[in-house]
Structure 1
Amino acid sequence: MTTAAPASQPVPDQPAGSLPRKQILKAFAGLLLALLVGMLSSTIVSNALPRILADLGGTQDEYAWVVTAMLLTSTATTPVWGKLSDLFSKKLLYQLAIVIFTIGSVLAGLSQSMPQLVAFRAVQGIGLGGMQALIQAVLAAMITPRERGRYAGYIGATFAVATVSGPLLGGLIVDSALGWRWCFWVVVPIAALAFVVLGRTLRLPVVTRHVRIDWLGATLLVGGVTLLLVWFSMAGKQFAWLSWTTAAMVAASVVLLVVAVFVEAKVSEPVLPLRLFGNRTFSLAVLGSLAVGTAMFGAAVFLAQYYQISRGYSPTHAGLMTLPMVLSLFLSSTITGRIVSHTGRTKPFLVAGALVLLAGSALLSSVDHTTNLGWMGVYLALLGAGVGALLQNLVLVAQNIVGIRDIGAATGTVTFFRTLGGAAGVSALGAVLAGRVAADIRSSLAARGIPVGDAVEGGGSTLDVASLPEPVREVVRAAYGDATGILFLVTAAITVVTVIAVLLLKERPLRDTLDIAAAPARPGTELSKLPARR
């Protein structure tokens, strides 16, 4: 089912050439500001959650949903935002995403109950999905792929620094006199500034054409993905992984996604153009992005927990302990971005990044509650360097093989699968962590002759380890520390898929034109393999 839009609707911002560098830099500053606050908001609450739950009378189940709700809606709406940017003004859509995010942030800070907070976090996620998907699409409308590498490096650095530094900022706010509500309000002034900066500096030519919006495909896609992510978030907690509830939710999700694929294959303007997957390079870039999301989001969520619960650090100190990963990711992203722009080559950095990420994940799989923190900093630096080399270069590879008319859909698709990998990975890793921690606590307490029931309940359902008796506290800290290594072992296994994907990628120099139609096809490249748009 599609809906015809008026012929006067603004659609793809199709520039004839690169904009002046000064204008690009001003607009780019606004884009980075918006991305910064969006990504900060997704992790800033991690260290504030114990205080929030105590204030609002929340439960352990609601603890997870404060994080999951935002990740879920941002993931599900990313491909929709991406496709809309191919049909309407990218500038107006980006500003709309900022407005939705800001409204959600204000309301989240005013929450009087946990259900309200979860709902408003979901609103934040809708805006975040737009900011994640549209920043690369806007950049692609201003800059050629060859020059885009250096800017993509800064995007990757901002994305990663915000994701990993969020817990540090949240810890500082919670430990101050401001209170946890400012974890949501602190980003509002910056988001407003980004809105104004983009309004004044972003100037993209707008053309008009008759478009048809695929509302049915968007609804089916969002519904199927949302149901799948809800299952990932609840399985192993509210019900068993192997249960009738699991079977029903997975079956319903599969049916919705299969019908969505059927609809997308038939409509003229699909939200997720299936023909893009007919290109080997695009498909491999999407596949390679899955492990990046798992490694990045998993590290941000579980490392803060490791340092606080297993090693006994304060929220602020726990955030500082992740600085080796933050710094290496920043350097890796910016340096590789500049070299990519200079050489026009991406595969060497993708292969190197995937191998370094695999090495970092494998080394972190040896972590337990007694690991030397100096060596752990080295392992985290390797993890960050790998993610930095992969994060935006995979998006750049996908953008390089599509025309400007499909740039939003292609960008949104890669971002969607990266975030999907993060959302599903965090949920699955969380279930693995909970199961391993409970088993280790039971066995350790039984060996010490301590009653198991209450201790396991206390260690598994709350994160207030300091309130436990000393013998039980030691067991719980050791259990969390020892189980963390298992999470990175799973991450290393997923990273193997990324290594294979980037090795199979065919090297293709980045083009020097904004649109693929303006670039002469080179013999032996895959430029001619992408089906023509009808």
Structure 2
Amino acid sequence: MSSSTLPTPRETDRASVLRPLFGLLLVLFVAMISSTVVSVALPKIIGSLNGSQTQYTWVVTATLLVATASTPIWGKLADLYDKKTLVQIAIGIFLVGSLLSGFAQDAGQLIAARAFQGLGVGGLQALVQTIIAAMIPPKDRGRYNGLLGAVMAVATVSGPLLGGVITETSWLGWRWCFFVGIPFAVVALGVLQRSLHLPAVRGRAEVQVDYVGAALLATGVSALLIWVSFVDSSFAWLSWQTAAMVGPSVLILGIAVWWESRVAEPVLPLSVIKQKGPALAILASLAVGMAMFGGAVFLGQYFQVSRGYNPTEAGLLMIPMMLGTLVSSTVSGQIVSRTGKLKAQIVAGTVVLVAGFGVLSTLDRDTPLLVVFAGLAAVGVGVGMSMQNLVLAVQNTVSLRDVGAASASITFFRSLGGTIGISVLGAVLANRVNDSVAEGLREAGVPASASGGTSNLNLEALPEPIRGIVELAYGDATGHIFLLSTAIAVVGVVAALLLKPAPLRTTLDVEPAEKDDARS
């Protein structure tokens, strides 16, 4: 072969990045579609299992909660051990969780299976970001983060559509919503086995993973979320049950912070979190996660329960938000790579996100679809411009040896925000719906027992007077929770405005002088 036909070093480097990147993007697609494919199918799933609104919320919350709690552990493991092996283990856990979810016989089993699946999702979320950071310098990462955002958008667009079609297809049924990701996961395993080759960053055998810190964080957060799910419905805000749940959870979280400040290898590195830049990026990501996950997860329910659309139609109606995310994340990634600047993109994204939720806060059963689409598109644009850039803002400040823990930290807080958002907004929605339905039944002179114990989400089995009351209640309650999402998203705007503009570095690792500054 002549020298003229040999690939240039730049071509070789790009090929060595693109091959494993395809596998990583496929992994991310699998993790994302596991949630989005279920989103529009959940009303029918919970209705067929005769579950409650609280169980509806926990089918989503269980996955996010376990993913959130496990993300820091996966991130720390990625700094210590082979990232390729870890991502393959995470895919395997995800596959088993998918099978268990698909074969669940009641809502309780489904929640447990989704919690196990969340362990794999947490690994995929943390490891994909970490491996990309280990392969590509921050200055060039914006371009690839655009691809990352595009894949997330495609999964978010195709997921609801696919979930709707699967649910509406008689020879498939809703259980295939959990099986559909399995072929993608298997292909991703093969691609990564062949193409992913990373040098070991650290392999110190004496370093221990902070399982105690992770357990304390998970326990404290779980207790608070369980309290949020039941307060004001099963017991009062000021009650012995509230004291029994909130008091110990706050104490446990306080112990967790103390432990993380003393342990040699903390699962959440306080040295990173205490820095102003990462702290503000994490706060903004927390707010974006609360607003986005907390609000978006109930849109499919709104379209089906309140507006009367079938799952496929509900998936189609979500397209404006997904297209907004797809376009804005791709364009934003290109701009960041060319300019090396992040702050303007993050600030603009959070502002547009607030505007979008402000529009959606006007929702009721009769809101014109054009108004709904405008709000959805604005939310999508805001998420696309802010979410991945916030991850990049944190990665840009830490050394390569700590990029796993740093990436996991911001992913942890974003997922934590989403988990809290879903739990809080889900509890508000459930209480408001229950109150509205009870009031509607009284005004109509219909006894509550007329439903025969049928779930409010099983509309087809409800008698007509009750069905109309339920539809009206869900429409009004959905607008109310988007008003709360707007207020939460404002926190993200404030944090983004306070971010210090910092140019993206062109090297994989920080310079020695920067490391010394970070330590001081």
* Same fold (TM > 0.5): yes
Decide whether the 8 Å contact of 1:18 with 1:143 is kept in 2. Answer: no
Decide whether the 8 Å contact of 2:360 with 2:479 is kept in 1. Answer: yes
Match of 1:120 in 2: 113
Change (3 A) 1:529 1:254: farther
Match of 2:74 in 1: 81
Match of 1:387 in 2: 383
Matches within 5 A, 1:36-185: 36-53=29-46, 58=51, 61-163=54-156, 165-176=158-169, 177-185=171-179
Matches within 5 A, 1:346-365: 346-365=342-361
Match of 1:269 in 2: 265
Decide whether the 8 Å contact of 2:360 with 2:375 is kept in 1. Answer: yes
Amino acid at match of 1:118: I
Whole-angstrom distance in 1 between the partners of 2:131 and 2:271: 22
Q: SS of the residue aligned with 1:351?
A: helix
Q: Pick from 458, 475, 480: which aligns with 2:474? A: 480
Amino acid at match of 1:417: F
Change (3 A) 1:214 1:292: same
Amino acid at match of 2:481: L
Q: Which stretch shifts more, 334-343 or 178-187?
A: 178-187
Whole-angstrom distance in 2 between the partners of 1:434 and 1:458: 16
1:62 CA displacement: 3.7
Residue 308, structure 1, aligned to residue 301, structure 2: no
Whole-angstrom distance in 2 between the partners of 1:26 and 1:338: 20
Change (3 A) 1:123 1:270: same
Q: Which stretch shifts more, 213-222 or 55-64?
A: 55-64
Decide whether the 8 Å contact of 1:42 with 1:71 is kept in 2. Answer: no
Match of 2:519 in 1: 531
Amino acid at match of 1:496: V
Whole-angstrom distance in 2 between the partners of 1:406 and 1:45: 34
Decide whether the 8 Å contact of 1:49 with 1:63 is kept in 2. Answer: yes
Residue 285, structure 1, aligned to residue 281, structure 2: yes
1:382 CA displacement: 0.7
Task: State percent identity of aligned pairs.
Answer: 53
1:265 CA displacement: 1.3
Match of 1:453 in 2: 448
Decide whether the 8 Å contact of 2:352 with 2:381 is kept in 1. Answer: yes
Q: Which stretch shifts more, 156-165 or 345-354?
A: 156-165
Amino acid at match of 2:477: A
Q: SS of the residue aligned with 2:298?
A: helix
Whole-angstrom distance in 1 between the partners of 2:133 and 2:304: 41
Decide whether the 8 Å contact of 2:69 with 2:214 is kept in 1. Answer: no
Match of 1:13 in 2: none
Q: SS of the residue aligned with 1:510?
A: coil
Residue 504, structure 1, aligned to residue 498, structure 2: yes
Q: Pick from 2, 17, 20: which aligns with 1:27? A: 20
CA distances 1:442-478 after superposition (whole Å, capped 9, x unpaired): 444444x42353469979x421234434343333222
Gaps of 5+ in 1: 1-16, 522-526
Match of 1:233 in 2: 229
Change (3 A) 1:423 1:22: same
Change (3 A) 1:241 1:189: farther
CA distances 1:279-327 after superposition (whole Å, capped 9, x unpaired): 1000000000122212322343211111111111001101100100000
Matches within 5 A, 1:203-282: 203-207=197-201, 208-210=203-205, 211-282=207-278
Match of 1:10 in 2: none
Match of 2:459 in 1: 465
CA distances 1:339-365 after superposition (whole Å, capped 9, x unpaired): 101100000111111111111111111
Decide whether the 8 Å contact of 1:446 with 1:452 is kept in 2. Answer: yes
Decide whether the 8 Å contact of 2:101 with 2:178 is kept in 1. Answer: yes
CA distances 1:384-407 after superposition (whole Å, capped 9, x unpaired): 100110110000001101111111
Match of 1:322 in 2: 318
1:236 CA displacement: 4.1
Q: Pick from 487, 499, 502: which aligns with 1:493? A: 487
Q: Pick from 194, 203, 210: which aligns with 2:188? A: 194
Match of 1:433 in 2: 429
Decide whether the 8 Å contact of 2:57 with 2:422 is kept in 1. Answer: no
1:51 CA displacement: 4.6
1:70 CA displacement: 1.3
Match of 2:398 in 1: 402
Whole-angstrom distance in 2 between the partners of 1:378 and 1:172: 25
1:529 CA displacement: 4.4
1:238 CA displacement: 4.1
Change (3 A) 1:29 1:346: same
1:219 CA displacement: 2.2
Tell me how large the CA RMSD over aligned residues is: 2.3
Decide whether the 8 Å contact of 1:368 with 1:482 is kept in 2. Answer: yes
Decide whether the 8 Å contact of 1:18 with 1:514 is kept in 2. Answer: no
Change (3 A) 1:434 1:493: same
Change (3 A) 1:92 1:499: same
Q: SS of the residue aligned with 1:77?
A: helix
Match of 1:7 in 2: none
Whole-angstrom distance in 2 between the partners of 1:476 and 1:54: 14
1:100 CA displacement: 0.8
1:168 CA displacement: 2.7
Change (3 A) 1:185 1:252: same
Q: Pick from 292, 298, 322: which aligns with 1:296? A: 292
Change (3 A) 1:424 1:279: same
Whole-angstrom distance in 2 between the partners of 1:241 and 1:41: 34
1:209 CA displacement: 2.5
Whole-angstrom distance in 2 between the partners of 1:334 and 1:457: 50
CA distances 1:392-443 after superposition (whole Å, capped 9, x unpaired): 0000001101111111111111111111111111111112112222333344
Change (3 A) 1:192 1:236: farther
Whole-angstrom distance in 2 between the partners of 1:227 and 1:158: 34
Q: Which stretch shifts more, 391-400 or 422-431?
A: 422-431
**What is the total number of aligned residue pairs between the two structures?**
508
Decide whether the 8 Å contact of 2:278 with 2:394 is kept in 1. Answer: yes
Q: Which stretch shifts more, 204-213 or 376-385?
A: 204-213
Change (3 A) 1:147 1:47: same
